[in-house]
Amino acid sequence: MSEQKNRVSITGVNSGPMIFGGTSHGDIVGGVVNVGPDTGAELVVLVEQLREEIRTRELPKQEVIDDALEELGEAAKAPGDATPAVPVSRWEKVKKLLAGTADLTGLVVRISEQVGKLWPN
């Protein structure tokens, strides 16, 4: 029979005291973010949907939006290879340029959630 080991799985961005058996064992200041294999793929699909929506409209700075979305989609294909500040800044730029397009709000929110999962903070 194999020996059973105690394991703790911490997902997401965590901070605070680690308490076991009622005793504090110090603070945890980080953790492994467990985004799952589908997060990047889902983001790629959502970005492509938004790009298709953008192509059917005449928006100010439409080319800038499309270029930023293309970069975001490429970063989502290999999220661990991207410097987090780059795709996050591209997405922030797109959100700012899309302000006022209420019919795209649902898609924008879903992309924001995926960006937050892949590149927290």
Nearest-10 crossing angle of helices 62-77, 105-118: 40
pLDDT band at residue 120 using 50, 70 and 90 as cut-offs: confident
pLDDT at 31 over 60: no
Per-residue pLDDT at 26: 57
Higher pLDDT, 120 or 115: 115
Share of the chain above pLDDT 90, in %: 53
The reported pTM is 0.68
pLDDT at 63 over 90: yes
Contact 97, 61 (CB under 8 A): yes
**Spatial distance between the Cα atoms of 24 and 89, rounded to a whole number of angstroms:** 38
**Spatial distance between the Cα atoms of 85 and 50, rounded to a whole number of angstroms:** 21
Mean pLDDT over 16-21 rounds to: 58
Mean pLDDT over 117-121 rounds to: 85
Q: Print burial letters for 68-100: b (CB count within 10 Å at least 16), e (below 16).
A: bbebbbebbeebeebeeeebbebbebbbebbee
Per the structure block, which two tokens stand in for 105? 């709000």
Per-residue pLDDT at 81: 87
Q: Which residues pair with 28 in a beta bridge?
A: 16
The helix or strand, by DSSP H or E, that contains position 116, with its residue range, turns out to be helix 105-118
pLDDT band at residue 34 using 50, 70 and 90 as cut-offs: very low
Q: What are the domain boundaries of the chain?
A: 38-118
**Spatial distance between the Cα atoms of 11 and 8, rounded to a whole number of angstroms:** 10
Q: Which residues pair with 27 in a beta bridge?
A: 17
